Each structure stands twice: as structure tokens, then as C-alpha cells.
Amino acid sequence: MKGTNGCADKWRSRLINPVLGKEFTLRMRTVRSMWALFFYLLAIGLLALGYLYVTRMSSSGANAFNPDESRIMFIFISFVQLGLIAFMAPGLTAGVISGEREKQTLNLLLTTQQSSASIVISKLVSSLSFMALITLATMPVYSIVFLFGGISPGQLGMVFLFYWFTMLALGSFGILFSTLFKRTMLAVIVAYGITLFLFGGTAFLYLIVSQIMEEMTRSSGGAPGDFGWIGHLLALNPGAALYSLFDPEMTRWVFRMNMGSGGSLSTGQPALQLWQEFLIIYSILIIAAVLTAIRSVRPRLNKKSKRA
Amino acid sequence: MKTTIRTDHEARAAAPAAAESPMIEIRGLCKQFGAFQALNSIDLVIPKGTVFGFVGPNGAGKSTTMSILATLLAPTSGTAKVGGCDVTRHPKQVRKLIGYMPDFFGVYDQFKATEYLHFYGASYGIPKAERARLIPQLLELVNLTDKKDAYVDTLSRGMKQRLCLARCLVHDPELLILDEPASGLDPRARIEMREILKELKSMGKTIVISSHILPELAEMVDEIGVIEHGRMVAKGNVQEIQSRMRVKRILQIRLAGREEEAEQYLGGRPFVNRILRDGRGVHVHFDGHDEEQSELLHGLIEQGFRIISFSEAQTNLEDVFLEITKGDGEGE
Ligand SMILES: Nc1ncnc2c1ncn2[C@@H]1O[C@H](COP(=O)(O)OP(=O)(O)OP(=O)(O)O)[C@@H](O)[C@H]1O
Ligand SMILES: [Mg+2]
């Protein structure tokens, strides 16, 4: 009996390392987590109901909700959820390391046998698990959409995978700033600043640059030059990537600006869908952010041995 | 209340084969923060089993030295070895050997005392069964058994300090680095802390402990190092110092009249360093032993001085210590 016990123990300790276990326990014991969950569900629930109410009012008389409308509502809820994630992820992660530094518990943790990687990754995983839990808790809201049809479970699954990936990205940026900056305040501000740039800044830049490029090709008088490259700007934008998941035409539209002059899209297909490019770019950024965070949790001690 | 703490897990076996090497070996250690020189070429060797007291005023560099030993800070130059392992090259090995208690530390408020120790035990890779056996013993050692199920944020400061000490001990380290473990404690708690440290010493642990207050340390440590402005200004064996202190004494003599005359007479006697006179009598800084001291008294009486009292004054440990060991710290 002792043998099996030890074995289970070993497996458990391999899956849930001490830092992860601690993060789970402490997070679930704080009242703040409860409130976060509550307000998140309240926000998304209210927005979904509000949307229903407004559309019902406008489609006067018609009682039925057709699949097209339900699809639009699905897209609406999905964007609301993405917005909430963008709002939540930096806040949940930007304090995880600097918070321990400020509470003066970090030094104690750093003198244990836990590796920097296990500390950073455990904290990331625990924040992500909490966010995943919250997003899963919004499932009932989607049942409204399913009631009316127009959306397949597969699409819903894709959207949730996309959410989790976005959380991972925003979360790893948050952790990176949390390790780089001593103060949580600064880390939180920078994390939200970056998030704002990714959501708003890239879209804004895209619009500005496309305007300028259009002006330039028009004034040069010749055939519109191919400036489809500016579409890559939008590949940084989680919102645009999410939309391209619903509407494959989106990618072509984004990359083929010259359609404006001819009035029709050119026939070529973009090499990658916007969301695929998004996945690739952000995978690289996530790896870079996590590795940098791991390297900077502890002071670089062995610079001398490297020089030698 | 005799508690023995034994852990037979791998920590011991994995410890480097450096039985002969001293517990701590610091050579030419420097630390710079920008242009500020916090540590200036510190040399220090502490053998195993020694209790070493680190004394110095605020900002002298005690915590900086201790952080470097605890692998939390990279030295600018010089080397520091713990149990033969270089702190910058083998930090993981070093962390296994040390239990570090910082001057300021926080606790996870939402944990109960037992859970708190379980967490750190697990972080040192100690199996659950062993932790379950060990933690009650640790709580017993630091007198927190009755608080084992209390949430950490309900503990008083002194209790938190003791809990943190228990935390330092979960992985049965050979070396304890305690940065002002008694700061913020009331006199009674200080005595309790001292008792615990004595017990740890009897278990054969090497202890490095810092304080501003020399007398507080002097009675529980074997060796003392004084650090000022990042330099080791004095260093020595406490017993040696104390025996030399017995040589260095201040004599208080009260006379019924003829004080000025007595002052003149004493000024000409051997082993007399300095003489001060105030309303309470004559104070003589005396370098001699008991033998010479009785000679002095005998002489006074022979000269016909009428003595009311002749006694040794309490000497200021700090002053004497600094005077005796001046220069000893350098070049050792
Ligand atoms: N991270 C840092 N950045 C800049 N200066 C620092 C840093 N840490 C310490 N110092 C400086 O180094 C000097 C030594 O500090 P240290 O904390 O080692 O002193 P200490 O002997 O522990 O003093 P105390 O008795 O007040 O605890 C101080 O002048 C301090 O201002
Ligand atoms: Mg200090």
C-alpha cells in the first residue's frame, strides 16, 4: 500500500509542483477571485441580454430569431468576451512576480530548490487556469445562441481555443513585465499599455498607413502598387484575427488593398489566414517573453564563469 | 524540551564532498551599487559548527553580504563559497546547504502555519510523508505547536519570526544565515529566540547572525566580525576577546579626601592608562591583571589614602572590542 501511495504522490508532485499548488490554493482562498468571476459573468451576461433586447426591439413584431441574427449575436458575444479577456489578462498576470517582491516573499521562494522556470511557468499556468475557468463559466451565455442555431459546436470550440491562446499571449507579456519591473504598478501600466496598443494601436496604424499609401498611389497616377504588406499590421491585432476566424474573406480584404481601384478583389489567395499568421507571430513572442522572464527572475549570477 | 531534527533524504548525500572545507569562505568580496561601494574587499572564513556574529551600524553591508551568500545578489568581484561551492557557479547546491532568513520578509497570509511549512518543504523537494513527520517537530522547536492551524496573518510579529525560522530549517540545512532575527522582538521574545539558537547550535549547525547590538550577540556567538562602510574592521574569537577584556578594566575608587593627591600618585603607577575624576570619585583605566590590581590597592593604602570603595566598573563591550581588535580584521 505504501508503494502505491508513494507512486501517486510522485505523479501528483510531477504534475502539480509546489509553486503551482500554492498558487491554486491561495488564489481560491482570496475573496477577490470570487468577485472577479462574479463581475465577469455579470458583464458578459448583461451585454448579451442587452444585445438581445435591442435587436428584439428593432426587429419589430418578428418573434423568431433567425440563424443569421444568431450568428451575428455569436460574433458580438465573442468580441465582448475577447474585450473582457484583454481587460483581465494583464491585471491577473502583471502582479504575480512583482507582487511577491513587494510582499517580500520572493526572496524566500528564490532560495528554495525551485527553478526559475518552474516559478515563472507555474505562476503563468495558475493565472491561465483561473482565466480558463472564468471563460468556461460563460458557456451558458452561448446557449442562447445555440438555441437559435447558425453556429456549430466546432466554431465555438475554435473561438475558445483562440481565447486561451490570446490569454497565454497577454499573460506571458504580463509576467514578463512583472519580472522586469520592480513595482507592480509600473508592470500593470505597461502591460495594459501594450494590450491597448495590440488591440487599438495596430488597427489605428493600419488605417493611417493604408490612407497614406492610397494617397501616394493615387497621386503617382500609375497602377496601384501592391501594399498588401500593411495587412501584417493587423495580424498583430487579436480582434482582427478573431474576425478572420468567422469570415475568411477578411484576410483577403486586409492584404489586398488594391481592390479599391478595380472594385474587385484579385483572385490570388493569401498564403496564410490572418489568424494563422497571428498564431505564428504570437507563438514566437510568447516563447521569447517566457524565456526572458525565466532569465530575469533571479539575478544573473554566473556572468563570470561565462566570460571565462 | 529536547527536539532532534533529522532528515535522511538526499540533501545530505548530495552535499559536495567537502568535509574539510570551511562552511563559509569569502575572499576579496566587493559589491557595488552603481558608483556606491557597498562591500569593499571582505575576507571571511567561518569553520563548520561556528556561530558567527555579524555586527555593524545601519548600512554597513551586513545584509548585502548575507544576500550574496544566499545567492540572491551577484557580487561585483571576489568569491564566496558555502560548503566548498561557489555561490555564483553552483547556486542550487548552495541553496540546499543554507537556511536564509532575511531582515524583512513577508508571509502568505492565506496559509495556515502548517501549510506554510508544507509549501516550503515541498519547494525543497522533501517528500510529503517526511514533511508530515518533520513539521510538528519544527513547530515544537520554535514553540508554535498551539498555533499550527492558525492562519499566518493572525500570528504576531514574533511568532511570524519564529515561523520563518522554522521555515529555514525544513530542509535541514547545515548553515543558517539569519539577518537580524531578533529585530522588532520584545525582550522576552529575544530571550526565546536566543534559546532556540542555542539549541540549533547544539545540533551542530553553523550559524551566521547579524545584529546592531554587540552585547546581545556576544553571549551566544563564538566569533564576531565588525563591519563598517563595507569593510571588515575587526574580527575575532569572543572568548579570546572576553579574556583580554578582563585585563582591560576601569577601576572606580572613592576616597575620603585627598583626591587630587591620589590622582597624582596613581598617574605614576604602572599599568595605569588614564585617570578621570568626577563627583563620584576617581576612574582609572587599568591594563593590569588581578595581581597588579591588588598591588595598586595595596600601594594606595600604604600611602595612607583613606579608601571608601575600590571597584571594577562595567566596561563598554563595544568600545573595548573595537579597541582590542582594531586592525585585526585586515589582512587576515
Ligand atoms: N539594491 C541596492 N541598491 C543600491 N544600494 C543598496 C542596495 N542594497 C543596499 N544598498 C546600500 O548598500 C549599503 C549596505 O546595505 P546593507 O543593507 O547591506 O546594510 P546593513 O548592514 O544590512 O544595514 P542595516 O543594519 O540597516 O540592516 C547601504 O548603504 C545601502 O544603501
Ligand atoms: Mg540589514
Residue B330 falls inside a structural domain: no
Structural domain includes residue B328: no
Residues B139 and B259 in one domain: no
Is A26 touching B (CB cutoff 8 A)? yes
Q: Is residue A9 part of a domain?
A: yes
Which CATH number characterizes residue B278's domain? Answer: 3.30.70.100
Are B187 and B252 found together in one domain?
no
Checking if the pLDDT of B264 tops 70, the result is: yes
Q: Pairing state of beta strands B175-178 and B98-101?
A: parallel
Q: No. of H helices and E strands in chain B?
A: 12, 14
Secondary structure letter of residue B314 according to DSSP: P
Stated pTM of the model: 0.81
Shared domain for B216 and B298, answered yes or no, is no
Do both B211 and B294 map to the same domain? no
Q: What is the CATH number of the domain that holds B179?
A: 3.40.50.300
Residue of B nearest to A100 (CA): B106
Is B110 close to A26, i.e. CB distance below 8 A? yes
Residue A283 lies in a domain: yes
| Segments in B142-273 forming alpha helices (H) | 157-169, 187-202, 214-218, 238-247, 259-267
Q: Has residue B321 been placed in a domain?
A: no
Helix/strand number for chain A, H first, E second: 17, 0
Does residue A308 lie in a domain region? Answer: no
Tell me if A104 and B102 make a contact (CB, 8 A cut-off).
Answer: yes
| Helix %, strand %, coil % of chain B (to 5) | 40, 25, 35
> Which residue among B58, B180, B210 is best mutated to probe the pocket of ligand 1, counting the most ligand atoms within 8 A of its Cβ?
B58
- The pLDDT score that the predictor gives to residue B292 is 87
pLDDT of residue B135: 95
Residues B198 and B62 reside in one and the same domain: yes
Residue A193, domain extent: 2-298
Q: Is the pLDDT of residue B272 over 90?
A: no
**In a shared domain, residues B22 and B122:** yes
Instruction: Give the H or E element holding residue B308.
Output: strand B307-313
Q: What is the distance between the alpha carbons of residues B234 and B215, in angstroms, rounded to a whole number?
A: 15
Same domain, B71 and B181: yes
Chain B positions contacting chain A at CB under 8 Å are 67, 70-74, 87-89, 91-92, 95-96, 98, 100, 102, 104-108, 110-111, 115, 119-120, 122-125, 127-129, 164, 167, 171
Best substitution site from B33, B72, B104, B229 to test ligand 1's pocket, by max atoms within 8 Å of Cβ? B33
Q: Does A305 touch chain B (CB under 8 A)?
A: yes
- Domain tally for chain B? 2
Domain residues for B301?
247-314
The answer to whether B170 and B113 are in contact (CB under 8 A) is no
Backbone angles phi, psi at A222, to 5 degrees: -75, -165
Per residue in B135-172, pLDDT tens? Answer: 999 999 999 999 999 999 999 988 999 999 999 999 99
Nearest to A77 by CA among A155, A130, A129: A155
Please tell me the distance from the alpha carbon of residue A240 to that of residue A230, in angstroms, as a whole number.
13
Say whether B285 sits in a helix, a strand or coil: strand
pLDDT tens digits, one per residue of B47-83 = 999 999 998 888 899 999 999 999 999 999 999 999 9
**Whether residue B47 sits in one domain with residue B196:** yes
- B261 and B185: one domain? no
> Which of A9, A22, A104 is opposite residue B106, by nearest beta carbon?
A104
∠ CA B203-B206-B211, nearest 5°, is: 115
Question: What letter would DSSP give residue A64?
Answer: -
Which residue in A has a C-alpha nearest to residue B99's C-alpha? A111
Is B5 within the bounds of a domain? no
Query: Which grid coordinates belong to B314?
Result: 562595567
pLDDT at B294 over 60: yes
* A306 falls within a domain: no
- How far apart CA B269 and CA B275 sit, in angstroms, is 11
Residues in A closer than 8 angstroms to B91, CB to CB, are 298, 301-302
- Which pLDDT score, from 0 to 100, does residue A136 have? 92
Partners of B112 in the β-ladder? B151
Please tell me the residue having the least CA distance from ligand 1 atom 26.
B58
* Among B165, B176, B169, B154, CA closest to B108: B154
B183-B187-B188-B193 Cα dihedral, nearest 10 degrees: 30
**pLDDT, one tens digit for every residue, chain A (308 residues):** 444 555 666 666 666 788 888 888 888 888 888 898 999 999 998 988 888 888 777 765 555 567 777 788 888 889 999 999 999 999 999 999 999 999 999 999 999 999 999 999 999 999 999 999 999 999 888 887 777 777 888 888 999 999 999 999 999 999 999 999 999 999 999 999 999 999 999 999 988 988 887 787 777 765 555 666 778 888 899 999 999 888 877 777 777 544 444 444 455 566 788 889 999 999 999 999 999 999 999 998 876 444 43
pLDDT of res. A104: 93
Question: Using CA atoms, how far apart are residues A181 and A101, in angstroms rounded to an integer?
Answer: 10
Whether residue B2 contacts residue B137, with contact meaning beta carbons closer than 8 Å, is answered with no
CA distances (Å), origin B266, targets B142, B262, B274, B309, B314: 53, 6, 9, 15, 20
Residue B230 lies in a domain: yes
B109 contact partners, CB below 8 Å, separation of at least 6? B151, B152, B153
B119 and B266 inside one domain: no
d(CA A149, CA A62): 17
Which value does ipTM take for this structure? 0.83
Beta bridge partners of B231: B228
Say whether both B304 and B215 belong to one domain: no
Q: Is residue B155 located within the same domain as residue B231?
A: yes
In a domain, A211, yes or no: yes
The SS3 of residue B203 is: coil
* A104 with B74: Cβ contact below 8 A: no
Residues contacting residue B281 through CB under 8 Å, at least 6 positions apart: B252, B253, B254, B255, B259, B309
Among B235, B268, B302, identify where a domain stops: B235
- Chain B CB contacts of A19 under 8 Å are 123
How many domains is chain A built from? 1
